[in-house]
A and B are shown apart, each in its own frame.
Chain A
Amino acid sequence: MSKQINVALIGNPNTGKTSVFNALTGLNQKVGNYPGITVEKKEGICKLPRGVKAHIIDLPGTYSLNASSLDENVVIELLLNKNDKDYPDVAVVVSDVENLKRNLLLYTQIKDLQIPTVLAINMSDRMSYKGIHLDIAYLERELKTKIALISTRKGKGIDQLKELITNYKELSTEPCVNASEIDKDYFNKLRTAFPNQLLYKLWLVITQDVNFGNVNRNEVDAINSFKTKSKTDLKRLQQKETIKRYQFINNTLKKGQTIDLKSAKDLRIKLDRILTHKVWGYLIFGFILLLIFQAIYDWSSVPMDFIDSTFASLSEWTKNVMPEGAFTNLLAEGIIPGLGGIVIFIPQIAFLFLFISVLEESGYMSRVVFLMDRIMRRFGLSGKSVVPLISGTACAIPAIMATRNIESWKERLITILVTPFTTCSARLPVYLIIIALVIPEGRFLGLSYQALTLMLLYLIGFGAAVGSAWILNKVLKIKSKTFFVVEMPNYKVPLFKNVALTVLEKTKSFVFGAGKIILAISIVLWFLASYGPGDDFNNAEEIVTTQFSSENLAQEELDQKIASHKLEHSFIGIAGHAIEPAIRPLGYDWKIGIAIVSSFAAREVFVGTLATIYSVGSDEEETIKNRMAGEVNPILGGPLFNFASGISLLLFYAFAMQCMSTLAIVKRETNSWKWPAYQLVIMSAFAYVVALIAYQLLK
Chain B
Amino acid sequence: MNTIIQNILVFIAVALAILFLLNKYGVLPKKKASKSKACGQDDCGCH
Q: Which residues of A contact B41 (CB under 8 A)?
A: 83
Contact of B9 among A327, A524, A601 (CB under 8 A): A327
**Contact between chains at B25 and A523 (CB < 8 Å):** no
Q: Tell which of B7, B21, B26 has the most Cβ of chain A within 10 Å.
A: B21
Contact of A325 among B3, B16, B18 (CB under 8 A): B3
> Is B29 interfacial (CB 8 A cutoff)?
no
Contact of B2 among A325, A516, A521, A660 (CB under 8 A): A325
Q: Which residues of A contact B7 (CB under 8 A)?
A: 325-327
**Contact between chains at B13 and A83 (CB < 8 Å):** no
**Contact between chains at B20 and A516 (CB < 8 Å):** yes
Q: Which residues of B contact A248 (CB under 8 A)?
A: none
**Contact between chains at A326 and B3 (CB < 8 Å):** yes
Contact indicator per residue, chain B 5-31, by CB within 8 Å of chain A (1) or not (0): 111011001101110110011100000
A641 to B19 alpha-carbon distance, docked (Å):
34
Contact of B6 among A83, A325, A520, A524 (CB under 8 A): A325
**Contact between chains at B18 and A327 (CB < 8 Å):** no
Q: Which residues of B contact A520 (CB under 8 A)?
A: 16-18, 20-21, 24
Contact of A523 among B3, B6, B13 (CB under 8 A): B13
A44 vs chain B, min Cβ distance (A): 24
Q: Which residues of A contact B6 (CB under 8 A)?
A: 323, 325-328
Chain B 29-44 residues near chain A, CB threshold 8 A: 40-43
Q: Which residues of B contact A519 (CB under 8 A)?
A: 17
Which residue of chain B has its CB nearest to the CB of A664? B26
A395 to B17 alpha-carbon distance, docked (Å):
24
User: Known: A326-B6, A326-B7. Contact between A524 and B42, CB under 8 A?
Assistant: no
Q: Which residues of A contact B43 (CB under 8 A)?
A: 214
> Is A81 interfacial (CB 8 A cutoff)?
yes
B6 vs chain A, min Cβ distance (A): 3
A453 vs chain B, min Cβ distance (A): 33
A521 to B13 alpha-carbon distance, docked (Å):
11
Contact indicator per residue, chain A 52-83, by CB within 8 Å of chain B (1) or not (0): 00000000000000000000000000000101
Which residue of chain B has its CB nearest to the CB of A197? B47
Contact indicator per residue, chain A 416-450, by CB within 8 Å of chain B (1) or not (0): 00000000000000000000000000000000000
**Contact between chains at B40 and A83 (CB < 8 Å):** yes
Name the prevailing secondary structure of the A interface residues.
Answer: helix
Q: Which residues of A contact B2 (CB under 8 A)?
A: 323, 325
A361 vs chain B, min Cβ distance (A): 33
**Contact between chains at A214 and B17 (CB < 8 Å):** no
User: Known: A83-B40, A325-B2, A326-B3. Contact between A524 and B14, CB under 8 A?
Assistant: yes
**Contact between chains at A660 and B25 (CB < 8 Å):** yes
**Contact between chains at B14 and A527 (CB < 8 Å):** yes
A527 to B7 alpha-carbon distance, docked (Å):
11
Q: Tell which of B6, B25, B40 has the most Cβ of chain A within 10 Å.
A: B6
> Is A97 interfacial (CB 8 A cutoff)?
no
Q: Which residues of B contact A521 (CB under 8 A)?
A: 17, 21
B34 vs chain A, min Cβ distance (A): 14
A519 to B17 alpha-carbon distance, docked (Å):
8
User: Known: A326-B3, A327-B10, A601-B25. Contact between A523 and B42, CB under 8 A?
Assistant: no
A383 to B10 alpha-carbon distance, docked (Å):
52
A53 to B40 alpha-carbon distance, docked (Å):
25
**Contact between chains at B42 and A214 (CB < 8 Å):** yes
A446 vs chain B, min Cβ distance (A): 44
Q: Which residues of A contact B13 (CB under 8 A)?
A: 327, 330, 523
Contact of A524 among B5, B17, B24, B26 (CB under 8 A): B17
A519 to B42 alpha-carbon distance, docked (Å):
41
> Is A517 interfacial (CB 8 A cutoff)?
yes
Q: Which residues of A contact B17 (CB under 8 A)?
A: 519-521, 523-524
Chain A 496-545 residues near chain B, CB threshold 8 A: 516-517, 519-521, 523-524, 527
B1 vs chain A, min Cβ distance (A): 11
Which residue of chain A has its CB nearest to the CB of B26? A664
A213 to B10 alpha-carbon distance, docked (Å):
47
A325 to B9 alpha-carbon distance, docked (Å):
10
A527 to B9 alpha-carbon distance, docked (Å):
12
A207 vs chain B, min Cβ distance (A): 20
User: Known: A323-B2, A328-B6. Contact between A517 and B21, CB under 8 A?
Assistant: yes
Q: Tell which of A214, A326, A516, A524 has the most Cβ of chain B within 10 Å.
A: A326
A667 vs chain B, min Cβ distance (A): 11
**Contact between chains at A81 and B3 (CB < 8 Å):** no
A666 vs chain B, min Cβ distance (A): 15
**Contact between chains at B25 and A83 (CB < 8 Å):** no
Which residue of chain B has its CB nearest to the CB of A334? B13
A435 to B3 alpha-carbon distance, docked (Å):
42
Q: Tell which of A81, A524, A660, A664 has the most Cβ of chain B within 10 Å.
A: A524
Q: Which residues of A contact B26 (CB under 8 A)?
A: 664
A328 to B21 alpha-carbon distance, docked (Å):
23
B30 vs chain A, min Cβ distance (A): 13
B32 vs chain A, min Cβ distance (A): 13
A213 to B16 alpha-carbon distance, docked (Å):
37
Q: Tell which of A81, A517, A520, A664 has the most Cβ of chain B within 10 Å.
A: A520
A602 vs chain B, min Cβ distance (A): 10
A83 to B13 alpha-carbon distance, docked (Å):
43
**Contact between chains at B10 and A326 (CB < 8 Å):** yes
A230 vs chain B, min Cβ distance (A): 28
Q: Which residues of A contact B24 (CB under 8 A)?
A: 516-517, 520
Q: Which residues of A contact B18 (CB under 8 A)?
A: 520, 524
A335 vs chain B, min Cβ distance (A): 8
**Contact between chains at B42 and A81 (CB < 8 Å):** yes
**Contact between chains at A524 and B21 (CB < 8 Å):** yes
B33 vs chain A, min Cβ distance (A): 9
Which residue of chain B has its CB nearest to the CB of A196? B47
Q: Which residues of A contact B42 (CB under 8 A)?
A: 81, 83-84, 213-214
Which residue of chain B has its CB nearest to the CB of A517? B24
A84 to B42 alpha-carbon distance, docked (Å):
8
Chain A interface residues toward B at CB < 8 A: 81, 83-84, 213-214, 323, 325-328, 330, 516-517, 519-521, 523-524, 527, 601, 660, 664
- Known pairs A327-B10, A521-B17, A527-B10; list 13 more (Cβ under 8 Å): A83-B42, A213-B42, A214-B43, A323-B2, A326-B9, A327-B6, A330-B13, A523-B16, A524-B14, A524-B18, A524-B21, A601-B25, A664-B26
For the complex of A and B, 6 pairs with smallest distance between CB atoms: A325-B6, A327-B6, A523-B17, A520-B17, A327-B9, A214-B42
Chain B interface residues toward A at CB < 8 A: 2-3, 5-7, 9-10, 13-14, 16-18, 20-21, 24-26, 40-43
**A–B Cβ pairs within 8 angstroms, 17 of them:** A83-B40, A84-B42, A325-B6, A326-B6, A327-B5, A327-B13, A330-B9, A516-B24, A517-B21, A519-B17, A520-B16, A520-B20, A521-B17, A523-B14, A524-B17, A527-B10, A527-B14
